[in-house]
A and B are shown apart, each in its own frame.
Chain A
Amino acid sequence: MADRIVDAKGMACPMPVVKAKKAMDELQSGQILEVLATEKGSLKDIPAWAGKSGHEVLETAEENGVFRFVIKKG
């Protein structure tokens, strides 16, 4: 179970990463953030951002055009 869910469906770049970043700032190390997005750019940008910020992407999935990322705060 995620500690926090960010729903960025329908939002264009850069908003999904902006929202994810804001939510992540409020979590503690080891907690889980789930991000939902329809922006295709997210598919590469979310993992790239997470990797650079020291977080770990546990899962990436796509269902009906919605991308789901499960990220553990580093």
Chain B
Amino acid sequence: MGSMYSITVEELHRRMEAGEELLLLDVRNEEEYSDWKIEGRTIRSVNIPYFDFLEEDERVYADLPKDKDIVVVCAKGGASDFVAEQLAERGHRAGSLKDGMLAWSQYYTPVVVHEDEKMKLIQINRLAKGCLSYAIVSDGKGMIIDPSKDIEVYTELAREHQFTIEHVVDSHLHADHISGGIKLAEAAGAAYYLSSQEAKGTALKFEPLERHKRIQVGDVHVEVLSIPTPGHTPGSTSFLIDNRFMLSGDTIFVGGLGRPDLGGKAKEWAEDLYHTVFVTLKDLPDDCLVLPGHYSDIREMNDQGIVGERLGTIRANNAIMRNDDKTSFTEQVAASVSMEKPPNFEDIVAINRGELQVDFDKAVELEIGPNRCAVHHHG
């Protein structure tokens, strides 16, 4: 008879990356599970709420394998300890995810997208949220784009890759997660940039993005793209490096276009999005790699663990990006708008506007849940 063990999110992710076939037994209630869960290419996930294991009914164990590793997951790690123990007593190989989805929601993994003698481009993936931020590094200097609230992720990255953070940028005012932009800029002594249109009506201190055609990072010129590149929100900005890499924020995703509805003006913003796709981005080459601010499906990640796609492929896969008839384009985009808003988006926007302060626990609670910022994926 075995005993249950505890597994950290780092270890779980390492085993997922190694392609281990794990069974994730999620013991949260059905509503929480259907809303948001851990996904991976080689893992299978099942949901049996922990209270089912309280009944003296052995049938609940019947379908669970004894020849495979089971990782039990709950919200904070308490219920998963309990269930993993029950499983271990019955001869299953069971681990309990330490601190549960709470820890998973704050787990980040950096991947080097590109490296040459001039620069290094790193994508920092917050797996639980499908949130992506970036570091552009050149000659010991760095620019961070769309950092999340857990800023030590970026200060540690700077230490590891030996650069000083000189520029911190938010591509837009985020509705789905709490920005670490200002906090990181302060901690690193860096400049903080945001589009004036996004900051309208707030008391945020920032360097207006629209005043910069390009931002120099070491030997690299980062082009601030067509200011503002509207679409998702009116002041949304994209960044371009040598026409080879486009950091698209929430304008274009691997699977399609951003959703223009979050400000309540779907039709007007759909027209802006049309302009972005058919005027601003028209001349960008097909082999330009689009690196978005979010993804919503594990299938958007390639074999190297990078979320990105050639612009040509995105154009080919999304009929809407070839529909240059303005009227039908805007109608289609406006009609595809989902009424589902990111969880707690009003509070999150207020925090990012500097109008609401919350403590760490509250921030964690507000951010928990899936990302819902894309129009649709794989449609």
Contacts and interface: CB of A to CB of B under 8 A. Distances in A.
Interface of A: 12-15, 17-18, 21, 40-41, 44-45, 48-49, 52-53
A6 to B, nearest CB: 14
A46 B49 CA distance: 11
Nearest to A18: B54
A17, A40, A45, A53 pick with most chain B CB within 10 angstroms: A45
Given A17-B50, A18-B54, 19 more contacts: A12-B78, A13-B74, A13-B76, A13-B78, A14-B74, A14-B82, A17-B51, A21-B51, A21-B54, A40-B365, A41-B75, A44-B29, A44-B32, A48-B29, A48-B31, A48-B51, A49-B49, A52-B49, A53-B51
26 contacts: A12-B76, A12-B78, A13-B74, A13-B76, A14-B51, A14-B74, A14-B78, A14-B82, A17-B50, A17-B51, A17-B54, A18-B54, A21-B51, A21-B54, A40-B365, A41-B76, A44-B29, A44-B32, A48-B30, A48-B31, A49-B49, A49-B51, A52-B49, A52-B51, A52-B52, A53-B55
A66 B75 CA distance: 19
B79 interface: yes
A15 B29 CA distance: 15
Given A21-B54, A44-B29, A13 B75 contact: yes
Nearest to A47: B29
Interface residues of B, number: 17
Contacts of A49: 49, 51, 54
Contacts of A52: 49, 51-52
B50 A14 contact: yes
A3 B75 CA distance: 31
B74 to A, nearest CB: 7
Nearest to A45: B29
A17 B29 CA distance: 12
Contacts of B31: 44, 48
A13, A15, A40, A49 pick with most chain B CB within 10 angstroms: A13
Interface in B20-64: 29-32, 49-52, 54-55
B345 to A, nearest CB: 20
Nearest to B54: A21
Given A44-B32, A48-B29, A48-B30, A13 B51 contact: no
Contacts of A53: 51, 55
Contacts of A45: 29, 49, 51
Nearest to B31: A44
B24 to A, nearest CB: 18
A45 B27 CA distance: 11
Contacts of B75: 13, 41
Nearest to B80: A14
A20 to B, nearest CB: 9
Given A49-B49, A52-B49, A14 B32 contact: no
A14 B30 contact: no
